Every structure is written in structure tokens, then in C-alpha cells.
Structure 1
Amino acid sequence: MTECSRSKFGRYYTKPVIGQTLVDLMNLRQPAGLIDLGVGGGSLTVAAARRWSNLHLLTIDVDPASDRHLSKLLAREEIGSHLHLRADALEPSLAGMVREEFGKADAVVCNPPFTTPIWKSGFDEILEESGFSGCMPVLADADSALLFLSQALRLLGQGSTLGIILPDSLISGAKYRIFRRELLRRYRVDVVVRLPTNSFMHTDALAHIVVIRKGYGGSDQVPLRKLVNGRLLPRIALVDVERATYRMDYDFHATAAVVTWSVDQNSVRPLGDLVQSIQRGSMEASASRKAGIEVFHTTDMLPSMTGRWIALPQNEPNDGERRAWASPGDLLVARVGRNLETKVLGVRSGGALLTDCIYRIRMPRNLARQTLAQLSSESGRAWLASRSSGVGAKHLSMADLLTFPVSLEECK
């Protein structure tokens, strides 16, 4: 096992700088005991051992190779004691096992796997005890991160601290909005830190460090921060609970706080007030390939096309064509993709059948030209990126896109 390699259990091991940042953000002088839940490659355990000398550690992992690997890693560290428990981190009876084997822990650290587990009996018990059983319309849809978070909170006593890495879906996704509301109502969230997309080896998944305290009541305000090039940006976005429930992503709130256009704000209108229509493409790319149907997909939206008016290959749709068709004057914006903010263009001539990964926007020609320029500008791309969410390929909702601020001053 290597510290930063991908695990067969669906995990991407934490880079040392991320682990050190996580433990440094935990506001603890000297925990009596610390648990690493799903220890994996051991980056979080080593970071904790280097911050707090003579630490009493409990590491938990189902992988039989973890114990041997950790013994070698920790041989170079000054620790008080180390106990390794080979067990499934999502075993419902784990809390009892930990109390019997280890006793009280002041802190838990955790980097959950990026997987959706097969639902097992007892998972509902884990979610129930942590207060999150009512957060999902269907409990079986809960992903590993939510289950690991819930389990970690079960292992903590009152007045203890959790440092965990959560995927962007839990921080920004609409699906988990009720979860965020319950988290902030029941626990004190000390900080949420947006991590760079290269924080884990072999994936560009977007994730966030979250530090949570149990037994201090709910949250009033949530500090949001960002890690860039191994350092925390000095600026902190402090948001209230209502805004944090909507999203706990630093980029989203930091971008919202900046005036996008240097003009009188009375002349700025949301895109939704200006469009004549907006439609999502209706053809799946895979289905079109199987059927031999020519379509325009996000892979056809090359970086060199960003902000430009281009010619599409086809002319007119077939008679009775009801699917989304791009025509001259339309704006096309990517709905999904890792770099969707760069996939924004206008149709100068021709036409094409659009896949369901693209939004088609129709608006008056003079507005369309300036709107395209604003969407594709540096600040426009930053705005689109901040409104997208997802662990791997990002997703931009139509509701968010329609809130894009268009400067009417620039449209004159």
C-alpha cells in the first residue's frame, strides 16, 4: 500500500499537506485520544501524531494491509500508544467496540471513500443516532461520506471534535440541502475549507475539509476558507446559517460578494429576466451514437471556441423535429463537465441537434452578444465555476444559470 495511491476499497489517499491542514484546523490543545476512521494510507494519522506528541491513537480499517503499513509509518513518530482495529468502519456496533477497546476519544479524523455503498441493515441506525435519518427521501441513496460522517459523530462524546474530508456533493449539492440544515442545527461547524481539485492522487474530485464540534449547540455563522498551493487564503467568507444551508462552498459565496461588473448595480439584471427561452438538449450522447444521429455535444465545444460565435455543421431540423435544435443567434452553455465554465459559445450560422449536456438560450440579438461576452469573461467563468457542483464532472443547474447577473450597461 502506498500513502497516495488509489485503494481497492474506492478510496483516494490524502496528500500529506491536506492531512496537515486538516489537523491544524482542529482547535484542540492535546486530545486524550484520537480515532482515524477508515485510516487507509495513514496521512491523517501521521499528521495528527506530528501535531500532538504522545498521542493515544486508535486506527480503524477493514483492509488487512493497514496494520502493517501503519506500524512502519508510526515507528518514526513519537506517539503514546497505538491500537489498530480491523473492522468495517460502517459496522453499526462499532461505537460499542470502540468504547470497550479504546475508551474515550476527544477527536476523530476521517477521509471517507468516494463510493455509494450497497445498503446494509444497520445503516439506518447510524444515520438515526447522528440525526440525519430524515435528510434523504430514500435512505438507501445515502453515499459513503454521509454514512462515515454519521459514524464518526457516533464515536465522539460531548465536547469532542471531528475533522473530516467531504465531497462537494454534501457541501454544495441540492440533494443534500436538508442534510446541511440538520448538520448546522445540531452541531457547531468551525470551518469549511475548499480544497484544490488535485488534492488526491489519480482523481481531480472536488472536496472540502470540515471541522465539526459535538456538544456545543448548533452553528450561528460558518467560516468558509480556501486552500491554494498548500496555503490557506487569508480571506474568510463568514456566512449565516441560511446561506450555508444553501451551499457551504467558499467560491460560491466569495464570488457572490464581489461586484461582477464595475457598473451601477441598478443596471444589472438576472439572466432569467432577459431570456426569451432556455431549453436543455434532449438527446443522450450515447444514444445518438448508437442510432447514428449527428449531434452537438460538450466534447465539440473546444476551448478555442469559448466566447466566440461559431458555424454549426447542419442547416435546418427535419419537419416535425421536437428535440432541442440550435439555430443562429442562440447561446450554448455546457450543463455538465469538469470545465463547463469554458464551454460557452454562440451560434453564428448553421444548426445542430443538442445533447442533454447543453443548455440553449434564446434572447434578443443585442443582449445575446453582450451576455456571451460577459459569460465567457474571466469573472463570468469564475461565476459559472462557483455555481457548479459535483465530485467529478460538475453540474450547473438551470435555476443557478438563470441567476447570472447581466450588465445592461454593457448591452447598450
Structure 2
Amino acid sequence: MRHTDIAIIGGGLAGSTAAAMLGRAGISSILIDPHQTYPFDFRVEKLGGVEQLQRFAATGFAESVLRSATRSGENWIARFGHLLDTPPNQQFGIMYDELIAAIRAEIAGPAEFICDKVVAVRTSAERQTVTLSNGDTISARLVVLANGLNVGLRHSLGIGREITSPCHSISFGFDLVPVGRSAFPFAAMTYFSERPSDRIAYLTLFPIDDRMRANLFTYRQADDPWLRAMRHNPVEALNAALPRLRRITGEFDVSGDVRVRPTDLYVSTGYRQAGIVLVGDAFAATCPVSGTGTDKVFTDVVQLCSVHIPAWLATCGMGADKIATYYDDPLKAACDAWSNAKAFSFRSVSIDPGLYWRAQRWARFFAYFVKGRLRRLRSGDGRAAVADAVPQTPQ
């Protein structure tokens, strides 16, 4: 039996970040994941925004990890075929498997990595036992469960899951290529839905290496025939749903596969137990539309690894009362509540037909319009930062 202070199950964003932070802090830990090299997964493909980057910086290795990403310093904002604003914006495009590889490169002793699958966990108020598929066992003071959507281990520990919004959103990922031109006229762009009836939140375009990556966020049911059209005829489906998009992008095509990711919103139940703590998606799901998933992961991991684990290891035992201080952490609780509220408000402002939400959509449109016009006047920018007409038909 191997001994360590912390056993981390799951080597995605949350688990790999935790291992890197604990290793840097000199805390003995073992990261366990069945993939030596993390495989392709359609998840986080972009990091950006002041608050998100600050949360990443709190891990201590954001600067080195982001060297592997593609930076775009300006993001166009558009709707109804109108370019509304061109604000400066720090965005970093990186595929999820490449992000995990860059973070794992930061893992250093006394943290270790084991490529194997965990088949059983036995917990107590003192030490925990982790059993691997090859029969080896690991004894740890604390188990950090960071295995995302995998429910098997949680069920064996009596940890349940309550789905709060089934099929809350469906995301698409693909590469967009210009037709008849060598490049698009923008470094990055966010294009908002033209009609609530299309059940689209927005399309975001951003560079990764020499490609223009596209993430389309929608609110549709899993059996909607439109999903099949989007997978097999994405150009036609996009042009039908966002007919004025080409005013800005020009003609375009889709290269490669169209990846699809449906998202249920859920929260874990029965998780206040001795010896084990849940982080990231293992604790609760986030909606990709809101862009808060990485905020929650970094908040969870930073508070756990820099505040709570050092305090827990300073005294004997690992009872449920200790673990509760992490779940009750004010910063974690506030981030969880903010992320959940944003998931529902973004859905409403995108597709709800009520007068209040229609007013919200138009308020956001005109706010971007005015900001773009003022930015253009201040800078003397000769580009058409806004179109010369505002659409007259309320949406």
C-alpha cells in the first residue's frame, strides 16, 4: 500500500490543477487518471475576461500555461448583421486536451501521477483507501473527487445527484473557414441570436493556432431534428438560424467534424462526508453558455488547496466537520450561486418571449451600440463599428 496525504481521482481541469497546486505547496499528493495523455474532449476551449483570468492567476501557473494558447486582444460584438462594438478583450483559445497537458506539465514533486483507473474508495474519519484496477491500493488522509460526470464512485459512496434542469443547453464546436478569402476580418467575434424562436444564445468565434474555432450555444431538446441538420449540414443550418451573420463574416464553410455536447444542470447530494471532498463538475454542473465553468473550477481548487487542505492537514483526522468548511466557504458558495443564476438568466434573456425579456434583449443591443459608437468617436477608428441602420422589428 502506498501512502500519501491527498489522493486526487480524475485528471481533468479540476484534478490536474489541484495536483499542480499541491505539488507547488510541498504537499504529498497522487493524481490518478486512466489517461496518460488526456484525450480530445469538447469542453473548455477558451479562457478570457478579467475575473476569469484573475481566478486562473490565483493558481500560480496561469502565465506559463497560457503560453500554449492563442491570444486574441479584440473581440467584435455583433447582432442582426450589425457590428456593434470592437472592445479590447483578453481571450486565449486552447483545446481542452492541450490545456490539460499544459497544466499537467506544472505538476512537480512531491505530487505524483498514476495512470490507472480507481475501482473503489473506502472512507473514514481518519484515513481513506483507494483501490486501483490493477489491485494496488493507496492510503490517503483525504480523497479529492474530481472525476467530472462519472457517477460510479459517487454512487458507491452514497453520493447522489439531483438534476435541476435537464438538457438545459446544447453546445456545438467546429472550425469555420472563410470562402474566397484567406482570413476573416476579425480576430474574434461574439454574434448574438437574431430571433428567440431559433433558441440560440450566441455564436463565438476565436482563433486556436491557425484555425478559427466556433462554439455555438443553443437551447433545444435532445430529440430536436435541427440538431441533426446542424451536425450534417452545418452551413445551411447556420445560415437559416443566423441569416445576417454573413454580412460580417462573408461566405464561410465548416471544416471537420461538428462536436455536440448536451448539458444537464445538476447538484450533488449526500456529499458532506468524512474523508472525501468534491470539486468542479463532480460537485455541480455549470452551463457552458454562461462561460462560468472554469471560474467555478479555479475557485473550488484555489480555496481547497490554498486555504482548507493546509488547515486540515495541520490537525488529526478528516471528519465531516472539517470537510464542511470547504462547502461553506463564502467565496466558493458565492461563485456557485453566481454561476447557477447566470445559467438561468442567460437562457431567459436569449429565448423567453415575455415583454421583460424582450426589453432586456433590446437594452443589451443598444448598450453595445452606444458603447461602440463612443469607442469609435474617441479613437477616430474609420471602421464601421456600427451599421448605419438599426433593425426596426422587435425580437
Q: State the structure with bigger RCO (CA 8 A, min sep 6), 1 or 2.
A: 2
Select the structure that is richer in strand.
2
When normalised by structure 2's length, the TM-score is: 0.30
For the pair shown, which has the larger CA radius of gyration, 1 or 2?
1
